[in-house]
Amino acid sequence: MNKLFAFLLPLLFSFSIHAQWHNQVSGVPENLYGVAFANKDTGIVTGGSLYNSVILQTFDGGLHWNPTYMNDSKWLYDAVYTGNGVFFACGHSGIIYKSTNFGTTWSPKPSNTSEWLYSIFFLTPDTGYCAGQNGVILRTTNAGNNWDPISYQAPITLLSIYFYDALHGITCGMGGRIFRTTDGGSNWEEVENEENKTLTSIHMLTLDSILACGMGGMIEFSPDSGLSWQTIVSTTPFDLNDMIFADRNTGFIAGDGVLMKTTDAGMSWTHMNYPVTSDLFGVYVVDFGTAYAVGSLGTIIKNDLSISVEEHSKFHCQIFPNPVSDKLIIQTDESGDFILSIHNMNGQIVLLDEQSNVSSFEVCVSAWPPGMYMGILTGTEYSKPFRFVVH
């Protein structure tokens, strides 16, 4: 990371001091585990019980939640949005559901396993992965319509899986076990084993920098693509259940009675206040302005992490066309030194460009997968977040 980018990145998340977590009325008593959003207004939350599973849908940014109960399945542990109105949910006994209309209706997809699935991740709208019981790892290459086991690790439960690109991925779970792949998931190498510990969530900030969290406040960091690991002080003894990063520096961890935030790429964590005493099982950043956390007994909380009005008023740019299929133009109102970063919906940086004495950027997106992208244009004093759709 160059020095200018490292200095300016904190400006991207200059949150209002009045930003707080607010309780949302889910209307359901079930534990909620997974959360994913298509945009600031439209998203889903997944959960369930011994008797059925439930998927909650909102079209108004969490003001109202509409439940759909699935009587042919039980717990749903994770959810993901892949673009173009497509959501997935996975869970108990190998169940994988797909929705092509923003979560209004759902259909089961053949997973070819009865193992419980705890984590689902899509690298592109076509290519996705699931991880679960007994070391099962599934892959789809046809937009989730069919899934096949690609690898079995040691017979332990895998709780989280993440891919940085088409070749490099990481997964973790029971026994503090971490495995990495450098060939798209066909083969896996064990790189960490913390006996009697459990890792619940893992995230690749870059190809080299990887963070994992787990039970007992455990946070592990690797600076070298998973080859070596060191412990990060988490300041909590409580179990940590899920981790998400909004960018390379800013992330959140949700756990049992704890919600934490980092602004330095996971090297230190601060506790956040939130209005319930529930355990939190899932956390999600919608865009550069909104986050959700979900948990026990129907808990949903929301935080509008708004960038200050002063920043917006002093810095203007135009983004066109939107949607875009060929070239995206980012036009500022004055020339200067700028850094342009663009992330996909998985939080991965797909473009990082630094220019001096310019007033516009031209980005060719014709080879990019369709879907929503998030960008930040950063000047010497102010930053401008924006969203656009590639179709």
| 3-state SS track over the chain | CCHHHHHHHHHHHCECCCCCEEEECCCCCCEEEEEEECCCCCEEEEEECCCCEEEEEECCCCCCCEEEEECCCCCEEEEEEEECCEEEEEEHHHCEEEECCCCCCCEECCCCCCCCEEEEEECCCCCEEEEEHHHEEEEECCCCCCCEEEEECCCCCEEEEEECCCCCEEEEEECCCEEEECCCCCCCEEEECCCCCEEEEEEECCCCCEEEEEHHHCEEEECCCCCCCEEECCCCCCCEEEEEECCCCCEEEEECCEEEEECCCCCCCEECCCCCCCCEEEEEECCCCEEEEEEHHHCEEEEECCECHHHHHCCCEEEECCCECCEEEEEEEEEEEEEEEEECCCCCEEEEEEEEEEEEEEEECCCCCCEEEEEEEECCCCEEEEEEEEC
- pLDDT band for 312, please (50, 70, 90 cuts): very low
Cα 111 to Cα 48, 116, 186: the distances in Å are 19, 11, 17
Query: Is pLDDT at 10 greater than 60 in this prediction?
Result: no
- Fold category of 16-304 in CATH: Methylamine Dehydrogenase; Chain H (2.130.10)
Once rounded to an integer, what is the mean pLDDT over residues 53-76?
A: 94
pLDDT in tens, 238-271: 999 999 998 888 899 999 999 999 989 999 999 9
pLDDT in tens, 113-129: 999 999 999 999 999 99
- The residue to which tokens 């070298």 are assigned: 224
- pLDDT band for 346, please (50, 70, 90 cuts): low
Residues forming beta bridges with residue 120, ordered by sequence position: 130
- Residue 347 contacts by C-beta under 8 Å, 6 or more apart in sequence? 203, 244, 245, 246, 247, 285
pLDDT in tens, 200-248: 999 999 999 999 999 999 999 999 999 999 999 888 999 999 999 988 8
Please report the pLDDT score of residue 385 as a whole number. 77
Cβ neighbour number for residue 8 with a 10 Å cutoff: 22
Please report the pLDDT score of residue 305 as a whole number. 65
Once rounded to an integer, what is the mean pLDDT over residues 3-7?
A: 32
State the span(s) of the chain assigned CATH 2.60.40.3080. Answer: 309-390
pLDDT averaged over every residue in the chain: 88
What CATH architecture is 309-390?
Answer: Sandwich (2.60)
Query: Is pLDDT at 98 greater than 90 in this prediction?
Result: yes
Please report the pLDDT score of residue 19 as a whole number. 56
Please report the pLDDT score of residue 379 as a whole number. 79
State the span(s) of the chain assigned CATH 2.130.10.10. Answer: 16-304
Tell me the whole-structure pTM to 2 decimals.
0.77
Residue with the larger pLDDT of the pair 16 and 76: 76
Please report the pLDDT score of residue 386 as a whole number. 81
Please report the pLDDT score of residue 316 as a whole number. 73
Once rounded to an integer, what is the mean pLDDT over residues 50-72?
A: 94
Please report the pLDDT score of residue 184 as a whole number. 93
Please report the pLDDT score of residue 256 as a whole number. 96
Closest CA to 172 of 222, 127, 122: 222
Query: Is pLDDT at 358 greater than 50 in this prediction?
Result: yes
- pLDDT band for 315, please (50, 70, 90 cuts): low
Once rounded to an integer, what is the mean pLDDT over residues 279-298?
A: 91
Query: Is pLDDT at 296 greater than 70 in this prediction?
Result: yes
Q: Can you tell me the distance from the alpha carbon of 255 to that of 239, in angstroms, rounded to the nearest whole number? A: 6
**CA dihedral sign, ordered 7, 8, 9, 11:** positive
Residue with the larger pLDDT of the pair 353 and 151: 353
Once rounded to an integer, what is the mean pLDDT over residues 12-22?
A: 53
Cα 88 to Cα 36, 163, 352: the distances in Å are 9, 17, 29
Please report the pLDDT score of residue 300 as a whole number. 97
Computed over its alpha carbons, how large is the radius of gyration of the chain?
Answer: 20
- pLDDT band for 309, please (50, 70, 90 cuts): very low
Q: Can you tell me the distance from the alpha carbon of 95 to that of 72, in angstroms, rounded to the nearest whole number? A: 9
Please report the pLDDT score of residue 333 as a whole number. 81
Q: Do the Cβ atoms of 149 and 167 come closer than 8 Å?
A: no
Question: Which segment of 25-29, 159-163, 301-305 scores lowest on mean pLDDT?
Answer: 301-305
Q: Do the Cβ atoms of 363 and 330 come closer than 8 Å?
A: yes
Q: Beta strands 258-262 and 270-271: pairing type?
A: antiparallel
Q: Do the Cβ atoms of 101 and 107 come closer than 8 Å?
A: no
Q: Which two tokens stand for residue 57?
A: 């849908």
- pLDDT band for 389, please (50, 70, 90 cuts): confident
